[in-house]
Amino acid sequence: MNFRKLFLLLLFFPFSLAAIAQTPETVFLKWKLKPGEVLAYKTIMETDTTDNKGVLLNGGLINQVMGSDSSSGEVKKLLKQLTELSGGNGITTFLRKSSKNDGISVEMVAEQSKGKAVADTSYLGRMHAMIQNMTGGVMLRGELNTNGSIKSFYLKNQQKNLVAVFFELPVKAVKKGDKWSLDVNLIAMDQSFQCDSAYKKNEVTLSDIVVRNGEHVAKVKYDICEYVSGNMVAFGSGHVKMVMKVAFNGTADFSIEKGRWIRYEGLMSNMSKGFMSSDYSQKFALIPVRDN
């Protein structure tokens, strides 16, 4: 090898190493399941009820359900019971390659409460027991297309929202900085609502592609917000001003080679004022049950 060839080899060698180490510019985020393979995720949907407003709506709903003379102590007791109930039941979501078509089935299952039967015969006790009997078993059944979109279009809006927020992926190849939207509608009103103003932001961003332990990981950021304000036609009460805002913000890591989430965390915040008031947030997370 003469001096000129050696010089050219040394000149281009660093660039060759850089090319090998660099991450791909464009990637496909696709679920990759083999026939018979099951992905299992512990699914967290925890509601923060430390605030008096909590999950139950102030005023209207509490009065309708519990009576207008309900004390704050009763409300706090009910919130505590509901929190313990939901926290005591583990939820696991299973993803499988469908045996009937080329889709991917999504099944969310709640474990039956293992606590002792509630002997309280009061209203709160009966309500607690009723909810215990209703929990357990399959909470949601949905399906994804192989391109990442939602196949089960027929689901109720709230259930379709869960499938989309947790598992929907972009149908096209994406690169760092690209944005796409999810098939969600976080706010749903009926004919009783007269809208004055509304806006919606629905952005999911591929914020980065990194190499971790030799594996390409797509870092995804969620920024979704829906807002409406207007008047609610309340029976016997005329028009009542109402404002509602629901937002979801989260981050997640997706293994490009394995085709699955390896980390997923988010926060859903809910606020409404007027006819029915509430202000609470829910922690969302997916935790691999085993080495997915």
pLDDT value of position 181: 98
pLDDT value of position 261: 97
How does strand 174-175 pair with strand 260-273?
A: unpaired
Q: Do residues 226 and 249 make contact, with C-beta atoms less than 8 angstroms apart? A: no
Among 173, 268, 256, 253, smallest CA distance to 221 is for 253
Say yes or no to pLDDT of 17 above 50: no
Which residues neighbour 292 within 8 Å (Cβ) at sequence distance 6 or greater? 39, 40, 41, 258, 260, 261, 262
Where does residue 259 fall: left (phi above 0), alpha (psi -120 to 50 degrees), or beta otherwise? Answer: left
CA 222, distance to chain mean position in Å, is 10
Of 22-31, 193-202, 206-215, the range with the lowest mean pLDDT is: 22-31
pLDDT value of position 182: 98
pLDDT value of position 178: 98
pLDDT value of position 2: 59
On the 0-12 / 13-18 / 19+ scale of CB atoms within 10 A, 261 is buried
Number of H helices, E strands in the chain: 5, 12
Of 50-54, 67-71, 276-280, the range with the lowest mean pLDDT is: 67-71
Q: Name the band, by pLDDT with cuts 50, 70 and 90, for residue 85.
A: very low
Q: Do residues 88 and 136 make contact, with C-beta atoms less than 8 angstroms apart? A: no
Q: Do residues 203 and 223 make contact, with C-beta atoms less than 8 angstroms apart? A: yes
pLDDT value of position 23: 62
pLDDT value of position 274: 85
pLDDT value of position 238: 76
Prediction pTM value: 0.76
Q: Mind listing the pLDDT tens digit for each residue in 159-179? A: 999 999 999 999 999 999 999
